[in-house]
Amino acid sequence: MATLMSAFLRRRCRMSRGSIGMMQSFTRSLGSETKAAAAVLDDPPHNYVIVQGSGNSRTAVLNRPSTLNALNTSMGDRLQKLYESWENNPDVGLVALKGSGRVFCAGGDIVGLSQLINKGDLEACKDFFRTLYSFIYLLGTYLKPHVALLNGITMGGGAGVSIPGTFRVATDKTLFATPETLIGFHPDAGASFHLSHLSGCLGEYLALTGDKLNGAEMSACGLATHYSLHAKLPLIEEQIGNLVTDDPSVVEASLEKYSDFVYPDNMSIIQRTETIDRCFGHDTVEEIIDSLEVEAARTRDPWCISTLKRLHDASPLSLKVALRSIREGRFQTLDQCLIREYRMSLQGISKQITNDFCEGVRARMVDKDYAPKWDPPSLGQVSKDMVDQYFSPLCENLGPELELPTKQREAFR
């Protein structure tokens, strides 16, 4: 936690210098005009992001329970505007994020995105990724303490809009995963940053297999900063709602007050770190699979068999792209990861390399036959050029590249 706190303070100190001064002088108004604008932002009719709280704290609530709070472009845009308003409002010291219903967020609205792709509306797809990734960067460089309440499903983009913040509270109902390779995509929304910074090769394992973590496992590996029983969430929300502070150490002490000690059970993948590091530390997907097969033959461990099945079910091209993405993310800052992931996402949905994303969504989310026809269908048919194209600069019809305000908001490692 000391590392997290020092990163937050460095972020605040960096942005208190020249560039942030210019930005704030341009955007901040301390008079009635700011309060009127905030009122408009805080109370829109029929929106998928609603606002709770007043005084010193604000809570944004993801409010699409019928889609498991899946994110669309308007939600990303709304979050961006709210968070910018709150950051520039001296009366707001603390910001929180939660989901309505029994889930936090199942990720991006991939069914809606695949429909846009099939209609040929590439500009709307660009807007979706640009808006979502820009908000993630804002959150990752936010000047005020942020608390994400990760109760229920927290997958893909749902992790992306929470993990870069200061505090993440997991519960006994939390279910985390980055299952993108199973739908012919790549772990995005900042996943190549936060997964690559997990210990050992756990990030490679999660990225390639899409396996799930519960709240205790999230806490143990550092994806969550706190763990509390979900029954305590009303108390936590009341506590942080009543805080009058922008001091992260005060917020942390309040969260600790309701934290529970928990450790993953003996069947958890957290207990398999040696095997994961040994098998997933290889240079290629083929070598990883070979290593798992050797391990399975030697130990007859059911976990090895189920892991091999997950890899078999995933898109072969996505596996190779995801592995390279995690490996590159380990040596990049958050902004560098997001800029690269934006490039990869547009290359991946362009259909210039493959149709795997739309095919994966069809097989798992639309027809639900769970029998995707991957192209190419095997690892041996995935060429180096195919993988390289995901990481190549965007061509004219896919450009421009993602631009983030790195001069005003410095990213961190």
Q: Within 46-101, where are the H helices?
A: 73-87
CB 45 within 8 A of CB 63: no
CB 317 within 8 A of CB 237: no
State which H helix or E strand residue 148 sits in. strand 146-150
Contacts of 6 (CB under 8 A, 6+ apart): none
From 76, 108, 203, 215, active-site residue: 108
| Assigned token pair, 221 | 């590996």
DSSP helix/strand/coil, 287? helix
From 180, 204, 295, 356, active-site residue: 180
Q: Return left, alpha or beta for 368; rule: phi > 0 is left, psi -120 to 50 is alpha, else beta.
A: left
Q: How far apart are CA 116 and CA 350, in angstroms?
A: 11
CB 408 within 8 A of CB 19: yes
CB 179 within 8 A of CB 155: yes
From 157, 160, 184, 203, active-site residue: 157
Q: Quick one: DSSP state of residue 408? A: T
CA distances from 307 to 303, 312, 313 (A): 6, 9, 10
Q: What Rg do the C-alpha atoms of the chain give, in angstroms?
A: 21
Residues 128-161, buried b or exposed e (16+ Cβ, 10 A)? bbbbbbbbbbbbbbbbbbbbbbbbbbbbbbbbbb
Our answer to whether residue 203 is catalytic in this structure is no
From 77, 87, 188, 252, active-site residue: 188
State which H helix or E strand residue 213 sits in. strand 213-214
Q: How far apart are CA 64 and CA 313, in angstroms?
A: 29
Q: CA 379: distance to chain centroid?
A: 27
Residues pairing with 146 in the sheet: 95
Our answer to whether residue 157 is catalytic in this structure is yes
- Residue of 119, 47, 53 lying closest to 351 (CA atoms): 119
Our answer to whether residue 180 is catalytic in this structure is yes
Residues pairing with 250 in the sheet: none
Q: Cβ–Cβ contacts within 10 Å for residue 381, how many? A: 12
- Residue of 156, 152, 160 lying closest to 133 (CA atoms): 160
Residues designated catalytic: 108, 157, 180, 188
